[in-house]
Structure 1
C-alpha cells in the first residue's frame, strides 16, 4: 500500500515536462485570448463589443471561407487518404513499402508553412516550371481563368497536400483493426464483397473515417503559415483576418478584436475535437 503513492508521485514527476509544455503553449495562450476578447481597447474594463463584432459581415464571411476551405480539404484528404491507407493495409506488415509510405506520410503531414508554399509556387506558380513547360510545349495556360493558386481553390489544393498523409496516419490503425476472419465469415455465409463493405466493414469503419475527417477539418481550420505565405493581399480566411487585426498599421486598436476572432476559432476547434473524441471512443469499442 505504501508503494502506490510513490509510484503515483513518480508518474506525476515524469509527466511534469509535458504538463509545463501544455500550460505554456495551450492553457496560458487560451486564457490570454479569452480575457482579451472581453477587454476594451487599451486594456480598460470589461466589454462585449469585441464578441458582438464577430457578427460583422466581413468576419462571418471569413469564418465561412475558412469552414469551406477546411471542409473541402478534409473531404479530399479523407477520401484519397483512406484509399491510400487501404492499399497499405493490404501490403505486407512490416514490409519495405508499408514502412516507406508511413514514414513519408509522417514527414509530409508536417510539411507545411512557408516551405510548402514555396514548393507550390516553384512548381505551379505563375512562373513555376510546370506552368512554363505547359505553356511552351502544350500550349496550356493553367491561369487563363485567373490566378486561382492564391485564392480558395489554390489553398484547397495546397492544404490537401498535407491532409492526405495525415489521413493515412490516423486511419490506417482502424483498417488494421478489421479482422480477416470477418470477411471469411461473410463469404462462407454467401455474402458478396459489396455486402461485406456495406454491412460489416463499412459500419465498423464509419466512426473512424468520420473522426479522422473531423481531425483533418480542425487541422486545416487552424492552419496559418501556408496561407499567410501564399496570400499576400487580402484576408480571405479567419487566421489571416486575425493577423490583420493584430498587425495592421492602418486600423489601430483591433488587437482585442483579433483575440475575439481567435476565441471563435478555439470554440469551433473545441467542438470539432469533442466530436472527434466521441467517435474515437466508439471506434475503440468496436475495433479494440
Structure 2
C-alpha cells in the first residue's frame, strides 16, 4: 500500500511586507542624507588636523582636547543640567498627567494636552526673553516679590533649570498620558479588594508597570535639555558652562583659529551621548508597549 508523499509547504511572505519595506526606503534615504552625512563630516573633522596650506592628517588630539579642561567641565555641566531638569520634569509631569487623566472634565484634558503640545515646542530666544522680562533682574515678578533681596538670579544654573522645565514638563505630560491611560481599572479594583492602600497600589502595581515609560520619558527629557542651545545662549552666555555654548565659541574663532576641529570633536561627544540616550530609550519604549497594550 503506497502512501502519497506530501510536498513541503512553502511559506510565502505576504505582499504587504515587501510593500512596507519599499515604503520605508524614502525615510531611510532621508535619514542617511540628513543625519548620516553630517555625522560623517563631524567625525572626519574631529579626527583630522587643520593647518591652512597643509594637507589634513589623522589625529586624536582634538578628541583628547575636547575631554579636558574647560571643555570637559562644559560637558559635565550639560549632563548635570540635563539630568536634574529631566528628573524634576518627570516627577512634575507625572503628577500633572495623573491629575488630568483622573479628572472628570473632558474639556480640561483636551485643554492641558493642547497646551502641552504647544509649550513642548516653545523655546529659544522668545522663551528666554519671556523669562527675562518676568524673573530677570528687572523683571516684573522679581520687583513685585523682591526676589533679588533673597539672592535670586535667573542667570544661574538654577534659573536655567527653571526655564528648561517650562518645555520639559509639557513634553513629559504628552509622553506619559498614554501610559497612564493604559493602566487597567481592574488592577486598582483587585488591589483594593485585597486590602491594598493607594500607596501600596502605586508602589507594587502602577509604578512597576509605568517604570519603562517613566525611564523612557526621563531619557527623552534628558536628550531635549542636552541639545538645547538658543535659550541658554540668550540667557546665561558663558556664566553657566555648557557644551553647546562651548561649541559655538570654538566655531566663532574667539578662542583660536584651529579650534574648529576641537568644536567638531565636542560635537562628536554630543553625538555619542545622544546615541547612548537612544540606545536606552528605544528598548524601554518597546517593553512599555508590551505591558500597556
Work out whether the TM-score is over 0.5: yes
Equivalent-residue separation in structure 2 for 1:47 and 1:286 (angstroms)? 48
Q: CA deviation at 1:74?
A: 0.3
What's 2:124 paired with? 113
Q: Does 1:180 align with 2:185?
A: yes
Kindly report which structure 2 residues correspond to 1:129-208, keeping only aligned pairs within 5 A, or say none: 129-134=140-145, 140-142=146-148, 145=151, 148-208=153-213
Who is 1:56 aligned against? Answer: 68
Q: Does 1:244 find its partner at 2:253?
A: no
Contact 2:171–2:221 (8 Å) recurs in 1:
yes
Residues 109/246 of structure 1: CA separation in 2 closer, same or farther (3 Å cut): same
Q: CA deviation at 1:15?
A: 5.7
1:100-126 CA distance string (max 9 Å, x none):
110110110010001100110111111
Please report the TM-score for the alignment, with normalisation by the length of structure 1.
Answer: 0.89
Cα deviation digits, residues 181-230 of structure 1 (max 9, x gap): 11111112222222211111111111211111111111101111111111
CA RMSD between the two structures: 2.2
Task: Specify the SS of the correspondent of 2:258.
Answer: coil
SS of the residue corresponding to residue 22 of structure 1 reads: helix
Match of 1:36 among 36, 45, 51: 45
Unaligned runs of 5+ in 1: 135-139
Is 1:281 paired with 2:282? no
**Which residue is 1:137 aligned to?**
none
Name the residue aligned to 1:71.
83
Q: For the structure 1 residues 220 and 47, does the alpha-carbon distance in structure 2 shift closer, same or farther, using more than 3 Å as the test?
A: same
Q: Using structure 2 for the length normalisation, give the TM-score.
A: 0.88
Q: Which residue of 1 aligns with 2:228?
A: 223
- The counterpart of 2:93, out of the listed 81, 90, 93, is 81
CA separation of 1:198/1:3 partners in 2, compared to 1, >3 Å: closer, same or farther?
A: closer
Distance 1:141 1:120 in 2: 14
* Mapped partners of 1:78, 1:14: distance in 2: 33
In structure 2, how many angstroms separate the alpha carbons of the residues matched to 1:203 and 1:250?
A: 49
Is the CA contact 2:86–2:168 (under 8 Å) kept in the aligned structure 1? yes
| Counterparts of 2:20 and 2:290, CA distance in 1 | 30
Per-residue CA deviation, residues 214-273 of structure 1 (Å, 9 max, x unaligned), is: 111111011111111112345610000011111124411111100100100111111122
Measure, in 2, the Cα distance between the counterparts of 1:77 and 1:163: 6
Aligned length: 279
- Please say which structure displays the higher CA radius of gyration: 2
Q: Which residue of 2 aligns with 1:211?
A: 216
Consecutive unaligned residues of structure 2, counting only runs of 5 or more, are: 1-11
